[in-house]
Structure 1
Amino acid sequence: MSVTNNKRLKIIRVPIPTPTLWPHTSTNCYLIGNEHESILLDAGYNQPETKQGLDEVIAKHNLAKPSSILLTHFHPDHAPGVLQLVDWEATIFCHFQEKEAILDAIAPINTVSVLKDGDELTVAGVKLQVIHAPGHTPGHLNLYIPSEKVLLAGDNILGEGTTWIGKPDGDMTDYIQALQRLQNLEINKLGPGHGDWVLAPHQQIQFVLDRRLQREQQIKELLADHKKVSTTELTKLIYQDHIHPSVFEVARRTTEAHLLKLVNEGIVFQEDSQFSLKA
């Protein structure tokens, strides 16, 4: 757990144990507020440890019980933990494109409020800016706190490594555009979806952008060498058995997302499950 605070506002990262993707073992929830008012960003996994961990931090830091819960996206390590928090009677927020997926993830809760890009929330007198930053999922949200120069980035940025992008939820073009937009924000500190606070946020965002663009170039070079390959074959060529077996499938999906971006740009041709460079 770590804390950013001033006299008005505390921003507390609360890592909650979750069965998320290796090498991470927890999902970050963020408590934002003071003794008068607070909100929660993301709710972790649907397990008792979620409520226990959050309640302990709320008491330790003398925070008001959150009146709102904002969910960055619907994935099972970020959203369903709200089922452990129903006694808070908090309003649940998500992006309007993610509403149905969120409702599926948190059933039997059947009411959420929707947000769009540019909406503002206020907590403890401080404005929080909602940013629609799709790519990992269609309705993925980030939360920017201009007065603190803090960005809470959900799964767009991780404390270690890079996030996966791919079907059925992800889109590589959207993701790269979202990162380019985030890079233009005035940020001194970034709260990732998994891992520790990022204290050099612009460098980390650029690292992820560079990694994605380097991977795209590598894919084009491999297609030039091997003529026609499937996503599985291409992923094996890229990683050469140097990734943990548990994440091979998400690596394959991310490779596929790059390929589909190149197909849409007219650079790559797809025939059934095979991909090749256009002549």
Structure 2
Amino acid sequence: MANKIKIIRVPISTPTLLPHTTTNCYLIGNEKESLLVDAGYDQQDTRIELERAIKVNGLATPNSIILTHSHPDHAPGVRQLLDWSPIVYCHHLEGQATLAAISPWDNLSFLNDEDIIRIADEEITIIHAPGHTAGHLNLYIRSKQVLIAGDNIVAEGTSWIGPPDGDMTDYFQTLNRLKQLRLSKIGPGHGKWVLNPYDHIEFVLNRRLYRENQIISLLKKHNQLTAVNLTQMIYDKLPHPSVFEVAKRTTEAHLIKLMKEGSVSLHDSLYFIRS
């Protein structure tokens, strides 16, 4: 059918975190109507790669851009696309950070959990999927059993989750919710299509639980440790020293979750098992 919807992953080189070197944007639609999910980094390559993908796949120029979240490798590329005069969408919890990321563009619309948008006669369900950020959005194309997951899922390894934007308790809840969807594949924020969606979500959950158990074991062994101490012990083989800061934030997110649950306490930057 000429009007059949296409879902096109467009990896664009960005200064993101190793081992990834590209950020995924997604084009959804057909020759009559399309939308863009995430706009990448604010650089000319963003526009060049998106326009090439639009032309090669015979898609209409998007009139809407949905931003999964406001981070600099996902949102500021809107500035490269202002002549599209797009409607730019995000979750309201991401509004202020998104406006800062895409300025001078200042016209935002908000999407909420379970909102339905229609593109090229297809229904797309919006999922408020907090974890990586408080206002993180995912998109679910039910007819294709496809989830566009932003940075809640990455193709290699796991995404970092941590303050000030991220919340580990929310992240566990989001992953468990995503597992309930009927999925054939996941479009991650970074890397290739994930073709084993349930195994991959389970891998991420297990990795987070493994790190949590490491933290508890280390605190029991050493009595009290700082977040830096814990990160150095847990992440002894990072792909690059630049990743240490987000590894530390992920450790802190686990510690915050454990404090909420009442198993860990904090005093003078030292964490310890609550007796």
Report TM bin, short chain. over 0.9
1:85 aligns with 2:81: yes
RMSD: 1.2
Whole-angstrom CA distance in 2 between matches of 1:14 and 1:96? 26
Whole-angstrom CA distance in 2 between matches of 1:60 and 1:278? 59
* Residue in 1 that maps onto 2:123: 127
Q: Is this contact kept in 1: 2:128–2:138, CA < 8 A?
A: yes
Percentage of matched positions with identical amino acids: 57
- Structure 1 unaligned spans of 5+: none
With 151-160 and 231-240 compared, the bigger mean Cα shift is at 231-240
Q: 1:8 aligns with which of 4, 8, 13?
A: 4
Q: Is this contact kept in 1: 2:19–2:239, CA < 8 A?
A: no
Q: Is this contact kept in 1: 2:123–2:141, CA < 8 A?
A: yes
Q: Compared with structure 1, are the counterparts of its residues 53 and 265 closer, same or farther at alpha carbon in structure 2 (3 Å cutoff)? A: same
Q: What secondary structure sits across from 1:147 in the alignment?
A: helix
Kindly state the Cα deviation for residue 239 of structure 1 after the two structures are TM-superposed: 2.1
* Residue in 1 that maps onto 2:152: 156
Q: What secondary structure sits across from 1:275 in the alignment?
A: strand
* Residue in 2 that maps onto 1:172: 168
With 64-73 and 238-247 compared, the bigger mean Cα shift is at 238-247
Provide, for residues 178-205 of structure 1, a one-character-per-residue CA deviation record: whole Å limited to 9, x for no partner.
Answer: 0000010000010000000000001000
1:194 aligns with 2:190: yes
Once the two structures are superposed, the pairs formed by residues 103-118 of structure 1 within 5 Å of their partners are: 103-118=99-114
1:33 aligns with 2:49: no
With 237-246 and 213-222 compared, the bigger mean Cα shift is at 237-246
**1:30 is aligned with what amino acid?**
Y
* Residue in 1 that maps onto 2:230: 234
Kindly state the Cα deviation for residue 8 of structure 1 after the two structures are TM-superposed: 1.2
* Residue in 2 that maps onto 1:54: 50
Q: Is this contact kept in 1: 2:3–2:120, CA < 8 A?
A: no
* Residue in 1 that maps onto 2:214: 218
**1:38 is aligned with what amino acid?**
S
Kindly state the Cα deviation for residue 6 of structure 1 after the two structures are TM-superposed: 8.9
1:267 aligns with 2:263: yes
Aligned length: 275
Whole-angstrom CA distance in 1 between matches of 2:167 and 2:245? 16
Whole-angstrom CA distance in 2 between matches of 1:7 and 1:110? 33
1:139 aligns with 2:150: no
**1:77 is aligned with what amino acid?**
D
What TM-score do the two structures reach when normalised by structure 1? 0.97
- Structure 2 unaligned spans of 5+: none
Q: Compared with structure 1, are the counterparts of its residues 106 and 11 closer, same or farther at alpha carbon in structure 2 (3 Å cutoff)? A: same
**1:94 is aligned with what amino acid?**
C
* Residue in 1 that maps onto 2:247: 251
